Structure 1
Amino acid sequence: MRLAPNRLALAIALATSPLYSHANESDFEGFAIEEVVVTAQKREQSLQDVPIAVTALSGDFLQQTGSVNLSDVANVTPGLNISNTQSEGGGGITMRGIGSNDFGYSSDPSIPVYLDGVYMGSGAALVGDLMDVAQIEVLKGPQGTLFGRNAVGGAVSVTTTRPGNDVEGQVRIGGGNYGLRTVKGMANLPLIEDELYLRVSGSTRNRDGWQENVSTGERDGYEQDRWNGRVKLLWTPTDELEIELTSDWQHEQDHAGYFNVLGGAAVDSLNGLGLLSPAALDAKGKTASAGNAFFDGASIVGPDGSGVDHELDRKVRGNALKVTWDINEDLTLTSITSYRELKSAISEDNDGTEYLVLNVRSFLANEEYSQEFRLNGSSDKLDWFVGVSAYRSDVDGQVNDSFGAIFNGAPFDETAIVHGQTESYALFGDAIYALNDTTNITFGLRASYDTKSQEIKNPQAFGLLFASPNQLLGADGNPDPSLAKSRENWDDISPRLVVDHQISEDVMVFAGVSQGYKSGGFNSFPTVDIDALSPTYGFVPFGSTEPFDEEKITNYEAGFKSTLMDGRLRLNGSVYYYDFEDLQFLVGNGTTITAQNAGSATGKGIDIEAMFLITENLSISANMGWLDSEYGDDVIDSDGSVIVSDGQDLANAPSFSGNLGIDYLLPLGDMGELRTHLNYAYTGDQTHNGSKTDKIYEEDGYGLLSARISWMSADEQWELAAWGTNLTNEDTIESFGGVTDDFGFVSVRRGEPRMYGVELSYTY
């Protein structure tokens, strides 16, 4: 029989914060950590029974740590890195050193994001601000046999709160530094008792900028103007059938934030001549110098050329229909149908200086369709499911670049227009067979088929940066415009095998091997040969539009799950080793860049998660990850230069990262209760560029301290809270620009400075 909505809500509520828990209701004589229920294996299971390295973060934990979006979640999850979505390339995800280079509109994320079971092809940007979230599960290692789309290095699964059978609502208002204003609301309404339920949630977030552009005098860097909405309708016409319809919207009208520069050949020369503003180099401060100045031969003149406003306008809309039918006591059929669309317009000054070196305006329209059917079954010895999925993405992208005006004020303006389409089909399944009362064998298999097409429609007759189709050279050395159209397909079969054994009632060990696959694609931006001595000068050499092949990873992992000290200590850990083949890389060919499979990598590490309930009201937790990842081959471009060296570290892969949390609840009797939460997240030394060895890309380790103190009334209706993030005001690098590096301008965005505020909420 299907779980009633109120029972489902209770199951999700059991997934409490890893830093806080009340006494276990089943233990009347003492207190213990509550059970955490996850759906990592497409079935409801206790976290301690799942033979996967998975971190479960409850909605309460997200609130206590001040997590606004998925990039904030990464700050408190060792081994996970998610770049800020408040930029053109935002939302890129790396886990255990595994991530994706962005080759254009046909590449796939290595670490996908799922929202209520729906694959987000455009990643974290499609999720937006976290609102009415019940739980986030971070799964580490290949997960292709469990999900309907590529999950080569792990997955981030976001589950929002389902409608329930009780009338309830909440209004939460807040304010903070830099003019922060937030409003959140939720209403849960049973329209027909025990049959039809409605849940509506919404939020707005507005904030002034904290970064000043000295070239314009405006402090508008990282402004925020966002709103989100979600409606969920749940219908249970019979005990065996439930239908859930979800519609969500988000609109971001942010400021993308300004770049600063760390160095580079051109930057060093300008700075040495005293021709660079100190604000341009203020990567650890709150100023920048984005402008369009140029040299007139003797002095600096400006602004001139084509300026940008640094605006980010992103609209997302999604609809999903989930139908669950209990065919009988042993079989359940689930269907998830989804349509999502993303429209964005972003403008950025990429070079990070007051000169017009490179200004970029990008426009994207993306539609995603997905359908998944999953049949779950169970018997005395076997718990299994089999699924089939179909996914399609239609992308229209346009990039307008203005560049090269630094010496005369007259920029080159070029446009790239690319249409891409992806179709993906998969048959996947997973089965748990009980050898006996203490030992299980899990076997999974995934068969994938992906087909992609791309058409380059660049309008200029002759491009220096974005080539026209007439500049694409064929195998015979003559222009061949037909190469602007590409189509290819890939297929793969990936298995998973895991054995778990219950040593005792409180300790489980597991070991397994799994494979992951990410389909190939195309380079959307083939570059022109600008070497005047080259025989292909002014054209794109043959092969630049050829497809690159799929990536393949094999992951070996062993671990344990334990609940000790009469349930007061939860200690989980795993060790792993992975081998990556056919890494997708951007490789230089003279002055041109091509995308190809050019490398291998290995990684090994340890993950440890612990929580100790010291008293009924005081808990401490520690999550730690050690990682040693490196490239396994030299990657050499056509002129013999080494792009990547054997043994070189992968990007965004610190050797150690950890998270320490303390949560304390002080009962005040009739006055309610006072709760204090402290969280310290440390990220060790790392490089931000896996394809360059320059020291400039390295960042020293840093720690981020957050805190929240709140008072809750005795009737649990009123809450007043004060919070702060990055309380020690650490200087961190959010991301590197990368686009202007080869022009001698290595640009970066800094992470957010200290933020603080207060919140007041009323719940009924």
Structure 2
Amino acid sequence: MNRNMQQQGGKPMVRPVVAAVAFAVATIAHAQEAKKDDSAQLETVVVTANKRAQNLQDVPTAITVLSDAVLQRNNVKDFDDLPALSPALSVSYSSQPGNYSINMRGIGTFSLGVGVEADVSVIIDDVPYAMQANAFKDLSDVNRVEVLKGPQSTLMGKSSIAGAVNISTKPIDSLWKTKVSTYITDDQEWRVSGSVSGALSDTMRMRLAAGTSSFPGVVKNLTNGKHLNGSDNTNFVGKFEWTPTDQWTVVLSPHASTFNKNCCVSPLRLVSNMNGLYSLNNGFTYASPASQIPVSQILAGITPGPDNVSVRNDYPAGGKANDVGTGLKVNYAFGDTGFLANHTLTSITSWSHYKMTDYQDGDNTDSDVLANALVGGQPTGLHGGLYQTGKFDVKSKTEEVRLISPDKGRIRYVAGLFYGKNDLGRHLERFPAGTYITNYSARAFNTNYAIFANGTIDLTQKTSIIAGLRYNKEDVGYTFDSPLLAPIVTNRSQHHYEDSDSERKTTGKIGLEHRFNPGAMGYVTYSTGHKGKGIDLTSSFNDANFNNGFVAGEDARSVEGGLKLSLLDNRMALDLAVFKTDFDGFQQSAGQTDADGIYRTQLHSIGSVRSSGFEADMNWRVLRDLSLNGSFAYTKAIVTSFPNGPCYSRLNDAGTGGTVVGAGNCIVNNPLFGKANTADLAGMTLPNAPKYKLNLGGQYDIRTDRSYDAFITAAYRWQSKINFRIDQDPTSVQGAYGIFNLGAGLKDKKGAWKFSFNVNNVFNKSYAASMGNVSWGNTMYGSKPTALVNIQQWTPARDYKRYFAARADFAF
């Protein structure tokens, strides 16, 4: 690791944390000495976590709320920016955007494909995404992000077993307003967005918002001089509201976006012998070492190391996607009399179509690696290298009808019906020769029917019972075709598979809340969650997968207790929570011996995992002109049962092959699992699950006697070390690190304009978004053909180095 990474994992990392604590203590003392007339208090934070508008401090659930002010202050662009502001969230990156995973409290989807649903749902304006990949684009016109932690299956349904991210877009203004925002950085990122909102008539209002952004990326492609691991986005969001009477409200919300992530490229951190030779795997051989290419030629201009961000690719990387859809929300408010007096009946209908074309450089070089390669002892007759391309095609329809009781009364509830139909297609091709070739088309579909209810019953003026129940029926099915279309191929044949299944599941929630006083509420809840059946629709799908059928779903059992506190005369809101969640039948790639006696790796419901810990969320109006927000999480996300987990390998001392190692207990040729190399991973930490994570941010306004004021912003985040792989490979560890951002600016007192300047990653601390000994699809040899070369890669984060940004906002 480089010097910055090493320091971040040791004692020097304690200093920024101590400084932050000292700053907070000093601020408290200053606040206590503040003038009595400085009586600014916190604004009420309204959330819709229970499918009704409520004060955050009245909701007995652990929630991190990212308000519009926090999102703007931190220049949040897309979903990738949210984990920096919510310690419970993390994102695991993969070889292309369709395989990204959102993790909550250390739990995420570690087996990917259109036949496996996510563990964390993403919902925008009451409409759930059918596939997580659709979330990784610009967050357009967002007003609030609610991070709901722990199982949310009872109210949010499908894909919410570990949590949910509930996003609300900006409301429509009553008076006409036009806003424009621009943003630019010194590393060539730029953004432009605008909105117009207001009343068209006494009964019709509208809001239109659009934006475009571009960032070349932090990885340099020496082949063409361009950058990688960036993105280009264009988006449109509309909102049309019609209120023909006081009782009816109809909102139509169309959206459309296109986005291109030229991503997922991992530069080399280590190549143990730059004087070696290069050889393709995947069924290729070479007539002699003389026909292979020197590593120094393959990596011309690249110096592997902890700061290397250069690659050589002659084929595009990433994915281009577009998404169109609409939502229709109809509310009917009942009058003051009758059986349903003051109730609200809501219908939410949605339709969306998400498509993405993805592509990868299969050999990660720009050399003519096929020229001298042999397949079956014969020349390929080809030039160039390996490449991959694929398509995702996802269609979704949902309908939800719910009845909401009045906010006042001894019994308050929401009850409803839900229908959702998702059709997810995946086509993948790898070419042009050898066993690298893959060509398959898969389609997974699921249809959900549910009835749900959630409510609160007051036992006394201070004590209430919380209860919820959901009954869900899901029909699932798939088709899988792998035709033989390639000219040069080995060990492939044409197959067609299809199957369907169905299951019924009930999830629920029960708890108790008690209000100690107007500013303090405590709660304890027990909830369950469920994730549906899965099928491993990837390039390894075969007869064994088909014969084994669908993989059983996941089940979760969670206990949570918390306090919601309003302190310092409503200047501070402090939410505390402790939790423990057990997941049974966790869906993960593992191995088993099939009836034919052959050991194969595929998707299984492996034993179980557990996530437990402590969380704190704070919003603090220290002074009228000083606001702070912060969150802290201690999370212990571990495997509790995985007897046939994977080992990892190291080069042997002679450098002629791999030595199987493991997490301290690897068994080579384990007879219990078909003589495979396995490790019992019980007690091991899950991938990308930091034990400690902290963020703290704030803004200080400086009032002047002119027509404008000034302000200063700051944000600091820190997390402990993580391992990116479940097999605990020590080469995949990112040490602890902290990132500090600083900003300042001027703003018009009437809100007509605002200019701000930011320094991101002030202390230039380097860190990785992913890391490890990742298979390159090729082999590098040392001075002898039998001496293998050790290879390590990393993915630099967007802010792996310091950069500067300027922003201008205007309102008319």
Give the TM-score normalised by structure 1: 0.85
Offset of residue 729 of structure 1: 3.1
1:669 partner SS: coil
1:670 partner SS: coil
Residue 451 of structure 2 is aligned to residue 422 of structure 1:
no
Counterpart AA for 2:413: W
Counterpart AA for 1:716: G
Which structure 1 residue ranges, 5 or more long, are not aligned? 1-18, 292-306, 406-410, 471-480, 529-538
Aligned residue among 768, 774, 786 for 1:733: 768
Kept in 2: contact 1:132–1:160 (CA 8 A): yes
Q: 1:254–1:553: structure 2 CA closer, same or farther, 3 Å change rule?
A: closer
Residue 70 of structure 2 is aligned to residue 61 of structure 1:
yes
Task: Indicate the larger mover: 436-445 or 606-615.
Answer: 606-615
Measure the CA separation in 2 of the matches of 1:37 and 1:465.
60
Kept in 1: contact 2:390–2:426 (CA 8 A): yes
2:517 partner SS: coil
Q: Partner of 1:340 in structure 2?
A: 352
Q: Partner of 2:796 in structure 1?
A: 750
Task: Indicate the larger mover: 60-69 or 324-333.
Answer: 324-333
Residue 106 of structure 2 is aligned to residue 97 of structure 1:
yes
Aligned residue among 259, 270, 277 for 2:299: 277
2:155 partner SS: coil
Measure the CA separation in 1 of the matches of 2:256 and 2:105.
32
Residue 509 of structure 2 is aligned to residue 496 of structure 1:
yes
Q: Partner of 1:599 in structure 2?
A: 607
Kept in 2: contact 1:623–1:659 (CA 8 A): yes
Pairing of 1:46-125 with structure 2 (within 5 A): 46-83=55-92, 87-89=96-98, 91-123=100-132, 125=134
Aligned residue among 300, 312, 315 for 1:290: 312
Measure the CA separation in 1 of the matches of 2:303 and 2:604.
34
Kept in 1: contact 2:627–2:698 (CA 8 A): yes
Q: Partner of 2:575 in structure 1?
A: 572
2:244 partner SS: strand
Aligned residue among 320, 325, 335 for 2:327: 320
Residue 392 of structure 2 is aligned to residue 364 of structure 1:
yes
Kept in 2: contact 1:675–1:709 (CA 8 A): yes
Q: 1:742–1:85: structure 2 CA closer, same or farther, 3 Å change rule?
A: closer
1:457 partner SS: strand
Q: Partner of 1:610 in structure 2?
A: 618
Aligned residue among 393, 401, 411 for 2:430: 401
Offset of residue 727 of structure 1: 3.2
Measure the CA separation in 1 of the matches of 2:232 and 2:91.
21
Offset of residue 36 of structure 1: 1.0
Q: Partner of 2:524 in structure 1?
A: 511
Measure the CA separation in 2 of the matches of 1:86 and 1:168.
42
Measure the CA separation in 2 of the matches of 1:335 and 1:145.
18
Offset of residue 465 of structure 1: 9.1
Q: Partner of 1:200 in structure 2?
A: 208
Q: Partner of 1:383 in structure 2?
A: 412
Offset of residue 591 of structure 1: 6.8
1:522 partner SS: coil
Q: 1:380–1:625: structure 2 CA closer, same or farther, 3 Å change rule?
A: same
Pairing of 1:127-146 with structure 2 (within 5 A): 128-146=137-155
Residue 219 of structure 2 is aligned to residue 211 of structure 1:
yes
Give the TM-score normalised by structure 2: 0.80
Residue 712 of structure 2 is aligned to residue 676 of structure 1:
yes
Q: Partner of 1:473 in structure 2?
A: none
Offset of residue 714 of structure 1: 2.3
Residue 566 of structure 2 is aligned to residue 520 of structure 1:
no
Offset of residue 278 of structure 1: 7.8
Task: Indicate the larger mover: 590-599 or 717-726.
Answer: 590-599
Measure the CA separation in 2 of the matches of 1:76 and 1:429.
31
Measure the CA separation in 2 of the matches of 1:732 and 1:599.
33
1:170 partner SS: strand
CA RMSD of aligned residues (A): 3.0
Cα deviation, 1:278-320, whole Å, max 9, x if unaligned, reads: 87674743533234xxxxxxxxxxxxxxx52225311111111
Counterpart AA for 1:288: S
Aligned residue among 248, 253, 267 for 1:246: 253
2:71 partner SS: helix
Measure the CA separation in 2 of the matches of 1:746 and 1:85.
15
Offset of residue 245 of structure 1: 0.1
Offset of residue 349 of structure 1: 2.5
Q: 1:591–1:63: structure 2 CA closer, same or farther, 3 Å change rule?
A: farther
Q: Partner of 2:290 in structure 1?
A: none
Aligned residue among 632, 637, 648 for 1:624: 632
Kept in 2: contact 1:523–1:544 (CA 8 A): no
Q: Partner of 1:434 in structure 2?
A: 458
Kept in 2: contact 1:224–1:253 (CA 8 A): yes
Offset of residue 663 of structure 1: 1.5
Task: Indicate the larger mover: 385-394 or 612-621.
Answer: 612-621
Measure the CA separation in 2 of the matches of 1:524 and 1:267.
38
Offset of residue 253 of structure 1: 3.0
Kept in 2: contact 1:94–1:111 (CA 8 A): yes
Offset of residue 266 of structure 1: 11
Q: Partner of 1:535 in structure 2?
A: none
Offset of residue 271 of structure 1: 9.2
Q: Partner of 1:172 in structure 2?
A: 181
Cα deviation, 1:326-348, whole Å, max 9, x if unaligned, reads: 12343211111001111111212
Measure the CA separation in 2 of the matches of 1:448 and 1:746.
45
Measure the CA separation in 2 of the matches of 1:80 and 1:128.
17
Q: Partner of 2:585 in structure 1?
A: 582
Cα deviation, 1:380-420, whole Å, max 9, x if unaligned, reads: 21001111111111122111123777xxxxx8533121122
Aligned residue among 438, 458, 471 for 1:447: 471
Offset of residue 697 of structure 1: 1.9
Residue 733 of structure 2 is aligned to residue 709 of structure 1:
no
Tell me how many residue pairs correspond in the alignment: 695
Residue 725 of structure 2 is aligned to residue 689 of structure 1:
yes
Kept in 1: contact 2:713–2:744 (CA 8 A): yes
Task: Indicate the larger mover: 149-158 or 588-597.
Answer: 588-597
Measure the CA separation in 2 of the matches of 1:695 and 1:725.
29
Residue 553 of structure 2 is aligned to residue 546 of structure 1:
no
Measure the CA separation in 2 of the matches of 1:740 and 1:86.
11
1:598 partner SS: strand
